[in-house]
A and B are shown apart, each in its own frame.
Chain A
Amino acid sequence: MEYFKSGLKSVLGTPVVDDQPSGADIVERLVERVQHSTLLADRRDACRALKALSRKYRIEVGAKGMDALCQVLEQDRADAEIASYALETLKLIMNNEIYDEEEIPDITAKDSNKLGERFTEIFIKKQENVGLVLDYLEEFDFHVRWPALQLLLLLLTNKAKDVQEIILVSPMGVSKLIDMLSDSREVIRNNSVLLLTLLTKSNANIQKILAFENAFDRLFDVILEEGNADGGIVVQDCLNFMLTLLRNNISTQNFFKEGNFISRILPLLQLPANDEWPIQRINNVHAVLQIIRTLVSPTNPAQATSSCQQAMHTSGILKAMCDLLVANGVPRNPLTEAISTVAELVRGHNDNQSYLEAVKSNGIPSKDVLVLLLWSMLNDKQPFEMRCAVLYCFQCYLYRNDFGKMKIIQKLLPLEKEVTETCASHLLCQGLFSKESLSSWFAAVALSYALIDNPDGKEKLLNVKLASNDPNPPTLLQQIVSSIQTTDKAQFKIGHLMFLSTWFSHCSLAVESFLKINNGIPYFITQANRLENEEIEEIVNGLSTFVMGICLAFNPETVENFKKDSLRHLITKRIGVETFMDKLNDVSRNESYTRASKHPQPTAQNPQSLLLDYEFCKLFKMLEGMIMRALNTLPGQDDGEKLVSNQKEIDELKATVDELKTELTEKTNRIEELCRLANDSRDDTDRMKTELFRLQENHIALMHAYQLKENELESYRRLLAMHGIWNENPDQQQQQHQHHPQESPMFGGGEFTPHHLQQQQEPTTVTTGEEKVYQPMLNEHERNELIRNDLNV
């Protein structure tokens, strides 16, 4: 084999030391034979040889042989052996691991681990190639199906998105793959689970097709066959595949629920009691819990989640999960995950919440599971993740659970005197003042959930006093305010400040009690004014500011010195509006605010960085603007007054608007009318104009006709005169009239006046019997009149 190495070196530019054939030459010759040899046996041998060389000379085989290998897949389908060589060779060159014996030219050394990906790119550039591999998957022969499956796995590993799209559009591509789940040969079935998982990842269309192709049915069959939660890694793979099908896909989730697959989860949760938990069971159960949580996730549409929650209850999953919480020997991680799962199973679902409430531990005496859980939450020996999970569970238990919220508050009231059993409320109340700041933070947040959307509870809580030997024990509120002032632990303060914010928001009575506490507001002002470098202290200051803002926005106007105006004045003077806003922004800019706002489940890298809570962030976002408005209102304009005066102003404006509206309508009508009139008269004018024009035309035409007649008449006259029939007088008249059209101004000239008069007075005296004779006697006006009569206009 030494000559191969040296040969390759020559290809790569190292001086040639001998003239033995190089690896490249050999590969080239083999490729030539694969492509052009007419004998199948010959091609098969060449293919086998190529496969043998493909580790060592991966680049050569890949670069020169890819087309030839695809050609084999295309043309030599009938021969399983050569097909399997071709598939295996392709697999070897697209593999991402670097082979021990592989010859790596220096140029490509730095990204030689990407060679597999590059060749994959080249291979799938021709989409038909992927189709060919799919076809071979239909082949039952293990020597074909197996390398085809492995090759496809590799393609998907290297270029998931592209290969998914190609398979999606190749006819029945996805459907072919699902059939392999029924392969009796385990290695094929198991690997096809992995293949399908890769194929399905983040492709909603493929996920739906697989759901349509009964993937869930088949997976549950495999899981059952393999022994459910105590089955091997195949069970875990199947569950992960199922998870891939469901995650972020409301359609497949709906399908899963509608198809009643939820009830098929149950056997996976029915574990023998007091049993060992081998690692595989832990993994399997973990995967099951992920599936459940995907279906009831708080980020799903509310309707979808609640119908799945219902189905989980009906099918016994909720019960099985609660059993898991109180079972013995459940290791820490699955237990933590189980707590979070129960949390989401009950979140906002009243039936499930009451179910959880009633769950009791197995021990004697049996205790409420909620109490036990809270106990662990407040116990600093318990793992941090688990304590977080318990808080989440309790939050979800109270979420939209008016009854549960009131129960928690009720138990704290003085009326409920002798409570022998420890209850959740008392645990939390004690926890508030725990020495461990994380415990107090947990307790404060947990208790604040009993106050969300609970105006009645907020007021009732004001009556709670702390048990002590003191004949005049402090109220819960007083105690909280004073402990905020005396502690130097930021996490403690933050928890309590969030609690106060929740308590005071929309509750003037609570604000009133607070304002009456000595040194309450002054401390907060000092706190807000502190300059801090530490982020965590910025949050403390920001929250103190926020609490003051709430006192302003929900001010009861009953506490002297701290009425709205005075408080506003105090803030403006002692803190300044700008600084006040900056302090608030410090909170919403903080990284823990962003993290907490994302998801209801409390999370943090470590116990110290658990600072803000999801619901609190929601409240903060909601009230921020309101507080700024309250602060920026002009003095003397309290919200109440302002509201009234605003309302009055609005009413006045409304009346004015109404008046204006009527007026406008009238005006509009009037304008329309005027427009119509204007239009009409314009029409008239136009009509008149055309009329006039027509008349002028007529006039000219008539004048012309008149002239013609006149000329004619004249010639008759001459004729008559020649024959001596016409007398002088008419002749004279004739002369006159001939000029008449041009010389009308002269018409009234002295010489002719008598004549004219005479003619006018006694037209009949000049009697020739011919009207034509009269006409010329008329002046222009009269003539026009006549013409008009003629025309009947």
Chain B
Amino acid sequence: MSYAYLFKYIIIGDTGVGKSCLLLQFTDKRFQPVHDLTIGVEFGARLVSIDTKPIKLQIWDTAGQEAFRSITRSYYRGAAGALLVYDITRRDTFNHLTTWLEDARQHSNSNMVIMLIGNKSDLETKREVKKEEGEAFAREHGLVFMETSAKTSDNVEEAFINTAKEIYEKIQEGVFDINNEANGIKIGPQHSTGNSSIPGGNNRSSGNGCC
């Protein structure tokens, strides 16, 4: 249950690109073959370990549909990381990246780490966007890039963890003001000054599953 840091993530991108599936694969190690349209925002969490430190990822999966845009924008401001997802089998989702990026940059804090994800890499035969194009876009806009498959779980783990690593490094470099919660970073209970009586090594059995 205890953690050194908590990072808030958001997942954004067009509807149907596989945002919810990526989250589900990451938190529950499952794949959902039908499109369960996200209404507004959904939430998931998992504990990972970076540099031997337990880090809690608090992930907010937003709805890609245009109708929810004004709601989902409320989540940009307080996020430390964002996964910007497109679908490699649908070029239009790649074409919309610029709009997404502008939106994110406008509403988020400037240090937010953005990871570009080309999802559905298992559908090689239906590919419409070359890997090189994704790489080029990422390079041009200063993003980290990765192709994933929420279906086979290929690179899913890495996508979330690499984002966390990036954030962690920024913290080490002192880029993030970790005491400002609006940055999407929270210091774990026993790491903050004061109110903790049991330092570290919390061996209470942790409920179940993912954290």
Contact = CB atoms under 8 A, between A and B. Distances in A.
Interface of A: 168-169, 171-175, 204-205, 208-209, 211-214, 217, 251-252, 254-255, 258-260, 307, 310-311, 314
A173 B107 CA distance: 13
B74 A172 contact: yes
A32 B189 CA distance: 59
A175 B77 contact: yes
B193 interface: no
Interface string B172-211: 0000000001000010010000000000000011111101
Nearest to A260: B1
B60 interface: yes
B71 A258 contact: no
28 contacts: A168-B74, A169-B71, A171-B70, A171-B73, A175-B77, A175-B78, A204-B40, A205-B40, A205-B41, A208-B40, A208-B43, A209-B71, A209-B75, A212-B74, A212-B75, A212-B78, A217-B181, A251-B42, A251-B43, A255-B45, A255-B58, A258-B43, A258-B58, A260-B1, A307-B209, A310-B207, A314-B205, A314-B207
Contact of A212 (B60, B189, B208): B60
A174 B45 CA distance: 23
B207 A205 contact: no
Contacts of A258: 43, 45, 58, 211
Nearest to A218: B181
A242 B56 CA distance: 23
A172 B40 CA distance: 15
A209 B207 contact: no
B104 to A, nearest CB: 14
A204 B209 CA distance: 26
A311 B204 CA distance: 11
A666 to B, nearest CB: 39
Contacts of B75: 209, 212
B8 interface: yes
A258 B58 CA distance: 9
Interface in B35-49: 40-43, 45
Contacts of B107: 171-172
Given A212-B8, A310-B207, A314-B204, 17 more contacts: A168-B71, A205-B40, A205-B71, A208-B40, A209-B41, A209-B71, A212-B74, A212-B78, A214-B186, A251-B42, A252-B43, A255-B58, A258-B58, A259-B45, A260-B189, A307-B209, A314-B207
Contacts of A251: 41-43
A127 B181 CA distance: 30
Contacts of B181: 214, 217
A259 B74 contact: no
Nearest to B188: A260
How extensive is the interface on chain B, given as a class?
20 to 34
Query: What 10 pairs between A and B have smallest CB-CB spacing?
Result: A169-B70, A258-B45, A209-B74, A205-B40, A310-B207, A255-B43, A251-B43, A208-B41, A205-B71, A311-B207
A168 B70 CA distance: 8
A307 B208 contact: yes
A633 B45 CA distance: 56
A258 B206 CA distance: 11
A620 to B, nearest CB: 35
B78, B181, B207, B208 — most chain A CB neighbours (10 Å): B207
A214 B40 CA distance: 18
A175 B74 contact: yes
A311 B205 CA distance: 10
A307 B74 contact: no
Contact of A213 (B58, B78, B211): B78
A374 to B, nearest CB: 31
A214 B6 CA distance: 12
Interface in B16-59: 40-43, 45, 58
A209 to B, nearest CB: 5
A175, A204, A211, A252 — most chain B CB neighbours (10 Å): A175
A175 B40 CA distance: 16
Contacts of B42: 251
Nearest to B71: A205
Nearest to A211: B43
A172 B207 contact: no
Contacts of A171: 70, 73, 107
A671 to B, nearest CB: 38
A259 B1 CA distance: 9
Contacts of A174: 74
A311 B73 CA distance: 32
A314 B211 CA distance: 14
Interface string B152-183: 00000000000000000000000000000100
B39 to A, nearest CB: 9
A362 B104 CA distance: 59
Nearest to A311: B207
A173 B60 CA distance: 19
A348 to B, nearest CB: 15
A307 B28 CA distance: 15
Contacts of A212: 8, 41, 60, 74-75, 78
Given A172-B77, A209-B71, A212-B8, A307 B207 contact: yes
Contacts of B60: 212
A241 B147 CA distance: 42
Given A168-B70, A307-B208, A254 B78 contact: no
Contacts of B78: 175, 212-214
A205 B206 CA distance: 29
B208 A310 contact: yes
Contacts of A260: 1, 189
Contacts of A169: 70-71
Nearest to A252: B43
A161 to B, nearest CB: 16
A80 to B, nearest CB: 26
Nearest to B68: A205
Contacts of B209: 307
Nearest to A179: B182
A174 B186 CA distance: 20
A217 B186 CA distance: 11
Contacts of A217: 181
B81 to A, nearest CB: 14
Contacts of B71: 168-169, 205, 209
A688 B20 CA distance: 66
A307 B208 CA distance: 7
A634 to B, nearest CB: 46
Contacts of A209: 41, 71, 74-75
A204 B45 CA distance: 19
A211 B40 CA distance: 14
Nearest to A306: B208
Contacts of B207: 307, 310-311, 314
Contacts of B40: 204-205, 208
Contacts of A168: 70-71, 74
A382 to B, nearest CB: 36
Given A209-B74, A251-B43, A259 B58 contact: yes
Contacts of A214: 78, 181, 186
A211 B186 CA distance: 14
Contacts of A307: 207-209
A205, A217, A311 — most chain B CB neighbours (10 Å): A205
A174 B41 CA distance: 15
A91 B116 CA distance: 48
A169 B207 CA distance: 37
B43, B71, B73, B208 — most chain A CB neighbours (10 Å): B43
A213 B181 CA distance: 9
Contacts of B70: 168-169, 171
A255 B75 CA distance: 15
A354 to B, nearest CB: 16
A264 to B, nearest CB: 10
A228 to B, nearest CB: 14
Nearest to B10: A212
A252 B73 CA distance: 18
Nearest to A253: B43
